[in-house]
Structure 1
Amino acid sequence: MNKVEAPYPLLPLDYPDPDVIRVDDTYYLVSTTMHFMPGCEILKSYDLVNWEHACYVYDRLDSTPAQCLEGDLNIYGKGMWAASLRHHKGSFYVVFAANDTRKTYLYTTSDLSKPWKKQFIEGFYHDASLFFDDDERIYLVYGNTQIWLTELKSDLTAPKDGGIHKVIVSEEDNPNLGYEGSHFYKINNQYYLFLIHSLPTEWKRVQVCYTATSLDDPFVGKEVLNDDRGYFNQGIAQGGIVDSTVGDWYAVLFQDMGAVGRLPVLVPVSWEEEFPVFGKGNKVPKRIEVLANKPEYKYAPLYGSDDFRLSAGTPYGLKSFWQFNHEPNIDGFSINPEKGYYEIINQKTSKEMTQSQNMLTQRMTYPTCAAEVTIDASKLKNGDTAGFAVLQYRYAFIGIKRENDQYRLILTSYSGKSDKGKVKQSEKNATVLIELPLDRTTITFKIEVDFRDLSDKVQFYYKDMNEYIQLGPDIKLFFDLEHFVGNRFALFSMATESIEGRARFFNFNYFK
């Protein structure tokens, strides 16, 4: 049999809260995408090790003012969380709650290449797991601290009148993180509930399993994985389990790895007396091999370079590894495949870089990565800045600013907190670290990032006479809960005085 060895981490990218299923010989994985659009990305694999983009569930969610970055509104750190992915009687189902709208969404399709049908489930269900039982009754398992089992109507629109609605597991005295991240299954007529929590004595993510022989019986269980694989006491937990075509079982969980984000980790699962055993001795083994169902298959990359000359047919005409920071303003960007550039046309003024619309982003890769892009700022207006950024709550960027009809090379960062503590996103004041006069309007910029051993630092460069020159010092990066995602490369244009200024981005090159 053809087998492939799983790397650690499984994916070097920020794909948190994974849920995984298998349909015939194909595995599918869904992950939290928060505020990014298009959103709710689904990956596919034939071996659980190599993954490629399958589809986005939606290109926009509800087009609320905050989702569209109108005024000072935004949904950073909100949007869709912890989706549940299921396949039942020929259809795919995705359920998730959005923390900005406080709604629960259900999307369905029979074919991942076709549009998804959108509907709502009445109520708000945190980290919900959708479950179809053998008797055709349907449930959601969800919650934080208290884990609820709620029966749904057959059309999945709301809780069923008179149906089951009860707490099945509770942990209310944990000073850190109580039970959440539900993943619910029925395997060999036994019910299994997988959860994440922190150790009460210290912050560390730990995987937990509870089981029962019927939904009327009490669920009993214990911790099944307490391991950091030698990585700074950052535990591995929360995710789905799946069986292979030959009956082997695996879990896809995630691990906090600093500013790069929360990265998936593959863990083998075995069974002893109908109870799951994660890894060996509750630890993740150093070597994991998985059967490859299509060993000759060539996977498309989950990140990469782009000359903007070829559309992959995805939403908005961009390659699948690009996402906007929020729902894009359609009038505010264009792609020119003949000349090969992505253009932002400023449609609003803002005081804050993170409030600029049509920012184009890609995940960064662990343990190191770099990227370069050429920016033509000749059509900026006074008060505009076009740049290449590291996007997170505490961001930094290098770019070109036009002011009083003069162009300036600038390096800017936002360090996080004001003297008064936390500040609203719209009230942040970034610091210009370096500002130099420019005699040209087109420059190639480069960003180099090092995540090794939580060093989490970035260096910014500009090209002069075919030589890269570092601008400013190394800057520390952070994973902040205000955005709750890993740092990303970002292309942006920001207006502070008037709209309709333009910036063009050419030849984005990604180096791993």
Structure 2
Amino acid sequence: MRASNVACLLSLALNVPASYANPLPDPVLVDRATNFNNPVLWEDYPDLDVFRVGDVFYYSSSTFAFSPGAPVLKSYDLVNWTPVSHSVPTLNFGNKYNLNSATDRAYVKGIWASTLRHRSSNDMFYWIGCVESSKTYIWTAPNSGAKANGGEVSNWNWTAAATINKCYYDCGVLIDDDDTMYVAFGNSGIQVAQLSKDGLSEVKSQKVFTPSGNTYLEGSRMYKYNGNYYIFVTRPANAEFVLKSKSPWGPYEQKTLVDNISGPLPNAGVSHQGGIVDTKDGKWYYVAFMDSYPGGRIPVAAPITWSSDGWPSLVKDGNAWGKTYPMPVQTSKTVPPPVGTDDFTGSSLSHEWEWNHNPDNSKWKLAGGSGGLVLQTATITDDLFTARNTLTHRIIGPKSTGTFRIDVSQMKDGDRAGAALFRDIAGYIGVYKDGTSSKVVMVNNLNLDSNWSTKSKGTVAATGPTLAAGTTDIWLRVQADITPAFSGTSAQRTTTFWYSTDGSKYTQLGSALAMTNSYTFFTGYRYAAFNHATKALGGSVTVKSFTMQNI
């Protein structure tokens, strides 16, 4: 999870309500943590790229069709992370990313493994990613302020800077000592491209490595260390290889960093695919992810050492990836923990949130004042997977609740609103407004097929109370167990749905929903708030708060 175990326990012991805007009240106490436990972040942040600018570590991840895309997280110690931006504020990859209809949408497409780096010479962040194995998109954040402020960014002004008519598949960018920018990419063979001086077009590219035995590789990350060039690549989904050369153009030698390494969590996949990063005092760490469905792919970290001839080795616990290691950095700086309450105050959404596709920005707003998020109906549909402006939030593991307080007084006839467990096999608890009557329902059996077309729009599995006339607020809770069940077990993880009319006493509605442990949708389950019409637009709900807590 984003906060270390010690930090989370400290927050609970002090009985201090966490928020997305405020750090823990006494960061000095966090310094007492001398060790950290894996995973470092029990949320779905896959295909990671990690690097350091001054005192700040940054982390970029995949988001597929969720928008905004390519979240940027920051940390001061490589253990506690918080999202601070998105490199792709709007998915500019084609009209289907606007979720136009059931046959014109982009689930599982979009942002896969991409790369992010800060360029000191112009104080600019570059995000580079191939979309749909077709074009490569480049977004930049100029004049960030990171160079002058020890890595702290004063301005994330992301701009769609360029498109290259070539796929840099699963790419990793390196900014060399002479400021030349290189990109490593590919799968059946690894290639390197040299970019122009402004980093927005290609100068040349060539294949630099062909794996033996038709081994499929992906997830390239490129580095320079002690005069050598390195490309880290993964053999999905169980190994990480290191390629080393004296030149960015090769020839490259290959050695294995990890291969089918066990740990640190049972019933999860093998730790692989990620990147390396150094601390200011010269220590190095490898950050990878584990397939941990139904929760998704979650990151783990471990130290690495370097041999005299320039090869990295993972520091293991016996033959396994360690559950516990020493803290990479001791610092009084901290970041907000992932649990707590979001009241939707301020002028923008927290970067914890992503819409199911690009939103219709005319159909939502922050209420201002004491807070709240107004969701107007944006789509007339009976299919949640086709409804625009469904707002999603990653689930924290291993077990947690996500509780939405929603004002439903402005719903119109035919509107459907509520709190969902969102993935390709989904369910929700919500309010159906039919005529002048509003009733609480639990719906299951929302399914996409293997082509990500809607297979089932859902079934009302249980009906709760009809809300009294004049009811404004209802609390809707999703309680999820995303303990890994991806490998070595046939266990079925489940989610339950609850409601309250006073915010105090909760009643479960319906039976538990079985989650899928399949990886093919790639993203893990998410909490979500939705509001769509089945008859006519014009209704709205106000999400007054969202609270996520471990249980």
Q: 2:499 aligned with 1:469, yes or no?
A: no
Matched, 1:208 2:241: yes
3-state SS of 1:67 partner? helix
Deviation, 1:231, is: 2.2
Alignment partners' CA distance in 2, 1:503 and 1:480: 33
Corresponding residue for residue 28 of structure 1 = 58
After superposition, the C-alpha distances for 1:87-123 in whole angstroms (9 at most, x for unaligned) are 2323322211223874432424231332023222421
1:168 is aligned to 2:204: no
Q: CA deviation at 1:75?
A: 2.0
**C-alpha distance 453-140 of structure 1, shift in aligned 2 (>3 A):** closer
Aligned to 2:375: 344
Offset at 1:341? 2.5
Q: C-alpha deviations, 1:173-199, integer Å up to 9, x for none?
A: 35xxx210001111111111111113x
Match of 1:271 among 289, 306, 327: 306
Q: 3-state DSSP class of the match of 1:370?
A: strand
Matched, 1:444 2:479: no
Deviation of 1:171 (Å): 5.4
Provide the residue aligned with 1:193 in structure 2.
231
Corresponding position of 2:276: 241
Distance 1:335 1:86, change over 3 A: closer
Q: How does 1:384-395 map to 2 (within 5 A)?
A: 384-395=415-426
Deviation at 1:459, TM superposition (A): 0.6
Aligned residues with identical type, % of pairs: 28
One-letter amino acid of the counterpart of residue 91, structure 2: L
- 405, 430, 435: which one pairs with 2:463? 435
Partner secondary structure for residue 495 of structure 2:
strand
Question: Using a 3 Å threshold, how does the CA distance of structure 1 residues 188 and 504 change in structure 2: closer, same or farther?
Answer: same
- Aligned-partner SS, 1:354: helix
Q: 2: distance between equivalents of 1:307 and 1:446?
A: 16
Note closer, same or farther for the CA distance 1:439–1:187 as it changes in structure 2 (3 Å cut). closer
Q: 1:147 to 1:378 in 2, by over 3 A?
A: same
| Shift of residue 332, structure 1, vs aligned partner | 0.7
1-side partners of 2:172 and 2:537: how far apart? 44
Moved more, 210-219 or 44-53: 210-219
Corresponding residue of 2:137: 104
Q: Distance in 1 between matches of 2:133 and 2:312?
A: 36
Q: Runs of 5+ in structure 2 lacking a partner?
A: 1-30, 145-152, 486-491
In 2, Cα distance between equivalents of 1:128 and 1:366: 29
Q: How many residues align?
A: 493
Which SS does the other structure have where 2:114 is aligned? strand
- Tell me: CA distance 1:100–1:376, structure 2 relative to 1, closer, same or farther (3 Å): farther
Aligned: 1:156 with 2:194: no
User: Structure 1 residues 251, 110: closer, same or farther in 2, change over 3 A?
Assistant: farther
5+ residue gaps, structure 1, are 199-203
Question: Compared with structure 1, are the counterparts of its residues 340 and 244 closer, same or farther at alpha carbon in structure 2 (3 Å cutoff)?
Answer: closer
Structure 1 residue 118 and structure 2 residue 149: aligned?
Answer: no
1:146 touches 1:172 (CA, 8 Å); kept in 2?
no
Give the structure-1-normalised TM-score: 0.89
- Offset of residue 464 of structure 1: 5.3
Which aligned pairs between 1:176-325 and structure 2 lie closer than 5 A? 178-198=216-236, 204-226=237-259, 227-229=261-263, 230-232=265-267, 234-272=269-307, 273-280=309-316, 283-292=320-329, 295-308=331-344, 310-311=345-346, 313=347, 317-325=348-356
Return structure 1 stretches of 4+ with deviation > 6 angstroms: none
Q: Does 1:503 align with 2:531?
A: no
How far 1:167 moved relative to its partner? 4.1
1:341 maps to a residue whose letter is G
Asked if structure 2 preserves the Cα contact closer than 8 Å seen for 1:368 and 1:450, the reply is yes
The correspondence for 2:358, drawn from 323, 327, 331, is 327
Deviation at 1:471, TM superposition (A): 0.9
Q: 1:360 to 1:216 in 2, by over 3 A?
A: closer
Counterparts of 2:133 and 2:185, CA distance in 1: 18
For the 8 Å contact 2:417–2:431, the answer to whether it is kept is yes
Give the alignment's Cα RMSD to 1 decimal.
2.5
- Rounded Cα–Cα distance in structure 1 between residues aligned with 2:82 and 2:193: 34
Question: Larger deviation: 259-268 or 499-508?
Answer: 499-508
1:201 is matched with which residue?
none
Cα distance in 1 for partners of 2:213, 2:62 equals 25
